[in-house]
Amino acid sequence: MFKKSYKKSQAALEFLTTYAWAFLVIIIMMGALTYFGILKPSKIFPDRCNFGTEVHCVDYRIDATANTFSLRLKNSIGEPIIVDSITISSESATAYACSSAPTVTDWGSDETKDLAWSSCNSAATGFKKGDKGKVLVTMTYHLAKSSATYKHEVAGEVFSTIT
């Protein structure tokens, strides 16, 4: 009676072991494809532009050929604001920076502004045409009816295919 139950246990263990080996081979193949660059997870993710509820991202572009970065943002606060500063950076070892930054002063309620940075260090950051890149944007502002003492900050990110 005991021998019969041992045979069933052994068959079940061999069955599960076969599936474990197959699963292990699949994991190794996926790792090898990713390592050699055939399977790039970043190319699967869609382009996106995320900001807080204060600012709506209408359009964006990272251009490695012209070394420019462009944003079209809409003031969704509901009141006119005065922008104190807009900074950009990246998560790479060499920070994404541009020599000329846009200046925005008065920004009316529901108004859309085009912002453009030029002379950016796209090559030093590792941004290549056709790849995906992430640019972090931080904007500091205060309400037009208030003073610069009462600053607010909104952070956003642009994850896009580099042109």
| Domain residue ranges in the chain | 2-39, 44-161
* Residue 45 confidence (pLDDT): 87
Low pLDDT (below 70) residues in the chain: 1-6
pTM across the whole model = 0.77
Q: Which of 155, 151, 117 is nearest to 137 (CA)?
A: 155
Percent of the chain having pLDDT more than 70?
96
Predicted pLDDT at 6: 67
pLDDT score at 37: 76
Domain 44-161 = CATH 1.10.1740: no
Amino acid at 141: Y
pLDDT recorded at residue 56? 96
